[in-house]
Amino acid sequence: MRIHYSQCWEDPRIITQALEVRPGDDVISIASAGDNTFALLLNHPKSITAVDRNEAQIFLVELKIRAIQRLDYDDFVAFLGATPCQKRGHLYSYLRNALTETARAYWDRHLEHIHQGIIHCGKFEHYFSIFRRMVLPLIHTNKNVRELLEASSLERQRMIYEEIWDNRRWQWLFRIFFGKLLLGQLGRDPSLFRNVKLNNISEELLKHTRRGLAEIPIQDNFFVEYILTGQYKDLNFGPPYLWKSNFPFLKDHVGKIQLVCSTLEEYLKTLQVGTISKFNLSDIFEYMSDDVFEMTLREILRVSRNGSKLAFWTLFVPRIPPGIFMDKMTLCTSLSDRRDAADRTFFYSGFYPWNIDESISN
């Protein structure tokens, strides 16, 4: 059992716009690293439940919650690893008794993650660290990296990418490092590829990366900044839960988040009809067979209220609801299409925000 993602890699700006969480909403959010669950909490839902099949991810979100509740802002961002800190072990000692017994046992066994800063400890983040330390220096100088990140306009950003960045060595090493073999072994869960029919994964990712580095404004893209530098220069341009202005609200309300270790489909089976109004489902359908996807979607429609909203990303596996559900759901094409120009997590192939017009129980 390990942490696959210590940060969320879906754009919180896109998901908050798509779901339009309001007071009175009951939200289900894939836990992952918790970042986007915290972002949705900022919109005052009635309830929010973070679900993840990986218990280590639940332990990570629990530790972040306790850090929000018990630390002041400066110690919180330092403990997480967003700013330098020499006392993470001491801060953990202060937090550990507030953890559940199983979470405390997990983190006691992984104190190296505590000292490193827990936002850096995921398998995916380690993958980017290898790229940043061992591959990127073979292609570009620190000056080239700075010039790209500091591009003052989209026109200059595009020029830097096309004239400096996109050389043969970049293309060649990118295709090797972000190919199926290394991505599966070092980056994401190998089960991701179980349902992938795409022949050339690295070529697809290179195409998405070209769009992300040349066509989407980079100045506030903290995802690119972290991939290339391993840090956030200004937390006010980082994930919303790290903004100082949001911290007082999170401290007062983060205890509202319910943590559930379960597959989504099994958790949905425990819920009553019409109990959920908003669903943030990350890219979990990538990992499902067609049968499990259909079964999960049926459960979503069962527990939804009329007018609910559902949103998810896809990377390599297209996921369109089967025809038997299409009379109950409407794709918000304006939001889906706008994603190409605005989604800072450029590597996804698609974003799908759906309105649930009629629950399946009706």
State the Cα–Cα distance between residues 165 and 169, nearest whole angstrom.
Answer: 9
Give the DSSP letter of residue 187: I
Share of the chain above pLDDT 90, in %: 80
Whether residue 72 is contained in a domain is answered as no
Whether residue 337 is contained in a domain is answered as no
Pairing of strands 329-331, 304-314: unpaired
Contacts of residue 187, defined as CB under 8 A and 6 or more positions apart, other chains included, come to: 123, 124, 127
Whether residue 327 is contained in a domain is answered as no
Whether residue 174 is contained in a domain is answered as yes
State the Cα–Cα distance between residues 244 and 248, nearest whole angstrom.
Answer: 8
Encode pLDDT of 255-289 as tens digits.
999 999 999 999 999 999 999 999 999 999 988 88
Note the pLDDT of residue 287. 84
Contacts of residue 307, defined as CB under 8 A and 6 or more positions apart, other chains included, come to: 277, 355, 356, 357
Encode pLDDT of 228-252 as tens digits.
999 999 999 999 999 999 999 999 9
41, pLDDT greater than 60: yes
Whether residue 104 is contained in a domain is answered as no
Max intra-chain CA distance, the chain: 60
Of the pLDDT bands very low, low, confident and very high (cuts 50, 70, 90), residue 316 is confident
In sequence order, which ranges of 6-45 are alpha helices (DSSP H)?
A: 12-19, 35-41
State the Cα–Cα distance between residues 56 and 38, nearest whole angstrom.
Answer: 18
Note the pLDDT of residue 289. 87
First to last CA, the chain: 40
Residue with tokens 């100088």: 141
Whether residue 317 is contained in a domain is answered as no
Number of domains in the chain: 1
The arithmetic mean of pLDDT across residues 325-340, rounded, is: 77
DSSP-based helix, strand, coil % in the chain, nearest 5 = 55, 10, 30
Give the DSSP letter of residue 272: P
100, pLDDT greater than 50: yes
Encode pLDDT of 343-359 as tens digits.
899 889 889 999 998 76
Of 75, 34, 64, 68, nearest to 51 by C-alpha is 34
362, pLDDT greater than 50: no
Is 81 in contact with 115 (CB distance < 8 Å)? no
Q: Is the pTM of this model over 0.85?
A: yes
Note the pLDDT of residue 198. 66
The arithmetic mean of pLDDT across residues 103-121, rounded, is: 98
Note the pLDDT of residue 154. 94
Note the pLDDT of residue 361. 58
Encode pLDDT of 296-308 as tens digits.
999 999 999 989 9
Angle in degrees, CA 99, 103, 107, rounded to 5: 100
Encode pLDDT of 182-234 as tens digits.
776 765 666 666 766 767 888 989 999 999 999 999 999 999 999 999 999 99
Whether residue 140 is contained in a domain is answered as yes
State the Cα–Cα distance between residues 69 and 79, nearest whole angstrom.
Answer: 13
Whether residue 180 is contained in a domain is answered as yes
339, pLDDT greater than 80: no
Contacts of residue 109, defined as CB under 8 A and 6 or more positions apart, other chains included, come to: none
Tokens of 338: 């706008």
Range of the domain at 225: 123-237
Supply the mean pLDDT for the chain. 92
Which has the higher per-residue pLDDT, 338 or 25? 25
Note the pLDDT of residue 193. 65
Note the pLDDT of residue 132. 96
Note the pLDDT of residue 195. 64
